[in-house]
């Protein structure tokens, strides 16, 4: 072997010796579990975690595998924050507002009553500094959060009797959880927090007079229309409902950078895909419900105004005693005002025209 060939062979050998283990190290096999706060029957919301897991697997050539576990399989639906915080689970798919009992600051990520719509919430979270503020708050819980789906504006619930004025809410027992429930209480209603599967029997027995859930597609499956035919809109306590993927901070930091990028891209896809799926499924479900005799009603305007005033009273009171709530509230309410001012022009005028003036010929 001449000297040049010998050198070339030596270089090739050392390159091979270096590159093979380096490649193996760069693409380790990673296995995670997602604990969902949702049952499989809530297929559109539960499906958000399945979209994430499938895409992460595809992007990483099967090296990063995530298994999805329905509520109750690994832990109760509302045990997921403690589990991610303690590191017993790598990831959860949940709604932050389930945890307002820990701190009302958890509300911002999903939504607050009279909050923004899905597009506006996305804009605030992704470009308006919302996600950075939320992550700052969640650092104490060892959680890194990623937006993970949305229902859009929800429906306002099912009532046995018509709600003609604010007075009809007095003493009315309604299944409505979280801060929305607190606002209802300020209007005289008696809010109840009941898991999805127990709402129908409670309505049937008369333990409750009304119940809110999500929107036509999910509500139809629970059968509320059979006993409480008055279906109100809008769900002013959920003008959007943004779900979240919660990852344990140490687990996230230990993840290779390219797997982090795969997870972020897949979460972003799951975030937009859920809204598209709801917008596809809800129109047909609403038609079926109306065909079964459901009566649609808009909430009376004075009730909406009183509810909005009660909600913002609650926010100011909370900001006065809770610094983490105050910090995010300032950003949230400023962005809310700005984006709503802009949307009043092109978006609102266009929507108002096309929804009320169908073309005479199509």
Q: Site residues (CB under 5 A) for Ca ion?
A: 154, 238
Burial status of residue 242 (CB atoms within 10 A of its CB: 0-12, 13-18, 19 or more): buried
CB of 299 to Ca ion, least distance (A): 15
Identify the residue whose tokens are 């006993």: 227
CB of 352 to Ca ion, least distance (A): 25
The three-class DSSP label of residue 306 is helix
Token pair for 253: 């930091």
CB of 176 to Ca ion, least distance (A): 8
- CB closer to Ca ion out of 179 and 294: 179
- CB closer to Ca ion out of 44 and 154: 154
Residues paired with 215 in a beta bridge: none
The three-class DSSP label of residue 170 is coil
CB of 37 to Ca ion, least distance (A): 13
Token pair for 152: 């859009």
- CB closer to Ca ion out of 238 and 273: 238
- CB closer to Ca ion out of 53 and 214: 214
Determine the Cα–Cα distance for residues 184 and 188; give it in Å rounded to an integer: 7
- CB closer to Ca ion out of 53 and 184: 184
CB of 67 to Ca ion, least distance (A): 27
Tell me phi and psi for residue 7, to 5 degrees: -65, -45
Kindly calculate the radius of gyration of the chain based on its CA atoms and give it in whole angstroms.
24
Q: Are strands 242-248 and 91-94 parallel, antiparallel or unpaired?
A: antiparallel
Taking alpha carbons only, the member of 80, 311, 94, 300 closest to residue 181 is: 311
CB of 269 to Ca ion, least distance (A): 24
CB of 214 to Ca ion, least distance (A): 5
Which residues lie closer than 8 Å to 287 by C-beta, 6 or more apart?
Answer: none
- CB closer to Ca ion out of 182 and 238: 238
- CB closer to Ca ion out of 60 and 94: 94
- CB closer to Ca ion out of 239 and 248: 239
CB of 113 to Ca ion, least distance (A): 11
Element (H, E) at 244: strand 242-248
315 vs 105, 193, 246, 308, 333, CA distance in Å? 10, 21, 25, 11, 10
Given a contact cutoff of 8 angstroms between Cβ atoms, the answer to whether 183 and 315 are in contact is: no
């Amino acid at each position: 072997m001449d000297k040049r060939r010998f050198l070339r062979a030596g270089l090739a050998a050392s390159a091979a010796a270096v590159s093979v283990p380096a490649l193996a190290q760069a693409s380790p096999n990673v296995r995670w579990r997602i604990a969902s706060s949702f049952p499989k029957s809530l297929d559109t919301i539960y499906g958000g975690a399945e979209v994430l897991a499938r895409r992460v697997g595809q992007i990483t050539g099967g090296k990063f595998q995530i298994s999805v576990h329905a509520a109750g399989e690994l832990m109760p639906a509302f045990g997921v924050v403690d589990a991610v915080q303690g590191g017993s689970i790598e990831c959860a798919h949940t709604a932050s507002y389930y945890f307002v009992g820990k701190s009302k600051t958890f509300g911002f990520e999903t939504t607050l009553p009279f909050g923004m719509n899905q597009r506006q919430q996305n804009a605030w979270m992704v470009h308006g500094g919302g996600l950075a503020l939320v992550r700052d708050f969640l650092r104490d819980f060892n959680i890194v959060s990623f937006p993970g789906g949305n229902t859009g504006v929800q429906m306002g619930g099912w009532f046995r009797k018509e709600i003609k004025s604010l007075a009809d809410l007095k003493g009315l027992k309604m299944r409505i959880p979280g801060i929305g429930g607190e606002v209802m209480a300020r209007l005289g209603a008696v809010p109840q927090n009941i898991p999805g599967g127990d709402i129908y029997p409670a309505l049937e027995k008369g333990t409750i007079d009304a119940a809110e859930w999500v929107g036509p597609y999910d509500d139809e499956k629970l059968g509320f229309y059979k006993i409480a035919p008055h279906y109100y809109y809008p769900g002013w306590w959920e003008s959007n409902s943004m779900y979240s993927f919660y990852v344990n901070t140490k687990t996230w930091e230990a993840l290779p950078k390219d797997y982090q990028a795969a997870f972020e891209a897949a979460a972003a896809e799951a975030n937009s895909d859920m809204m598209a799926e709801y917008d596809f499924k809800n129109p047909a479900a609403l038609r079926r419900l109306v065909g079964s005799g459901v009566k649609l009603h808009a909430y009376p305007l004075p009730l909406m105004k009183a509810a909005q005033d009660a909600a913002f009273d609650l926010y100011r009171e909370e900001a006065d005693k809770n610094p983490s709530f105050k910090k995010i509230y300032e950003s949230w309410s400023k962005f809310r005002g700005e984006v709503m001012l802009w949307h009043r022009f092109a978006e609102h005028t266009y929507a108002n025209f096309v929804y009320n003036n169908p073309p005479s010929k199509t």
